Structure formats: structure tokens, C-alpha cells
């Protein structure tokens, strides 16, 4: 299982690519976790999930650019800037939702009903492969927003 996940990751992530992981990444032995994480391409930014214990996260923190519980990112897609709210859990409201911002989450393993511009970007919901930010934003922009 680990080898397949690593192969899928490395097929789409280059050595200098940025990857935002939205939780539930680290289980078990820290030495094994570090060994597996070191096989992954890219610069990893880690939004901690409910299964990511602080004590274990701290032991492998050197592999990450940072570890946070929530993050907002601005990206340029097709010449326009968009805001993404990233959190492990799916939420109903996020910053600037009514102004077109999108929400990426994990946690639900594909069992969360899509609502508005919210997307489960966990690998288990996406053919066990990381999702390109640009593709996910483009998909969510097809959904109309309620602005009143």
C-alpha cells in the first residue's frame, strides 16, 4: 500500500513542487514515517488532521515546510487570483466563501456531500493520487456562488 501511494504521489509531484497535505498522514512509528516521507517528492506543507498526533508530528516536522491547523492560500489560475481555505475537516462556512473563495478538505474519505465550492482533496477520494490545485480550483469555479 505505501509503495503504491508513494509511486502515485511521485508520478505527479516533482522535486520542487509544493504539496499541501490536509491531514491524516502520519500513523505509527516515527522512524518509519520519516523513511516514507523522505521518499516523497516535493516541498510538503502540512495541515494537521485528527489522526496526526502532535507528538508524532513534532518528530517528523523536519520533512515539512510548516505544520498548521488551518491555512489560507491565494493562487493564480487562468490569470485570475483565487483564495483557498484549507482545513482537515469539511466546513459549511469559510473566509470569503460568498466572494468566490473555495474550500479544500480531507477527513471524509469521499463520504461528504459536496456543497458549493468545497472539495475533498484527500487521495482516497481521488484515485489515491494528489490533486493539482489548478484543476481543483477550475472544477469548483464551475459552481455558482450565492452572494446575497
Could you read off the pLDDT of 67-120 as tens digits, one per residue? 999 999 999 999 999 999 999 999 999 999 999 999 999 987 777 777 889 999
pLDDT band at residue 51, thresholds of 50, 70 and 90?
confident
Q: Which helix (H) or strand (E) holds 73?
A: strand 70-77
Task: Order across the sheet with 102-105: list the strands.
Answer: 70-77, 80-87, 102-105, 118-120
More confident residue, 44 or 1: 44
User: CA-to-CA distance for 46 and 33, rounded, in angstroms?
Assistant: 14
Mean pLDDT value across residues 49-76? 85
> pTM for this one?
0.90
pLDDT at residue 57 in the model: 66
User: Does 49 score more than 60 pLDDT?
Assistant: yes
Burial of 78 per CB tally in 10 Å (0-12, 13-18, 19+): exposed
- Please, which residues have CB within 8 angstroms of residue 7's CB and are 6 or more apart in sequence? none
- From the options 3.40.1410.10, 3.30.1360.120, 3.50.50.60, 3.60.21.10, give the CATH code of 2-141: 3.60.21.10
Amino acid at each position: 500500500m505505501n509503495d503504491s501511494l508513494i509511486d502515485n504521489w511521485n508520478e505527479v509531484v516533482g522535486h520542487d513542487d509544493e504539496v499541501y497535505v490536509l491531514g491524516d498522514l502520519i500513523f505509527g512509528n516515527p522512524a518509519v514515517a520519516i523513511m516514507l516521507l523522505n521518499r516523497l517528492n516535493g516541498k510538503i506543507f502540512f495541515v494537521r488532521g485528527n489522526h496526526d498526533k502532535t507528538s508524532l508530528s513534532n518528530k517528523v516536522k523536519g520533512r515539512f515546510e510548516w505544520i498548521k491547523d488551518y491555512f489560507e492560500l491565494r493562487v493564480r489560475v487562468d490569470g485570475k487570483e483565487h483564495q483557498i481555505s484549507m482545513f482537515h475537516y469539511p466546513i459549511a462556512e469559510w473566509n470569503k466563501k460568498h466572494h468566490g473563495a473555495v474550500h479544500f478538505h480531507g477527513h471524509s474519505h469521499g463520504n461528504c456531500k459536496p456543497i458549493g465550492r468545497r472539495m475533498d482533496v484527500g487521495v482516497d477520494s481521488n484515485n489515491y493520487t494528489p490533486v493539482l490545485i489548478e484543476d481543483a480550483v477550475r472544477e469548483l469555479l464551475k459552481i455558482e456562488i450565492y452572494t446575497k
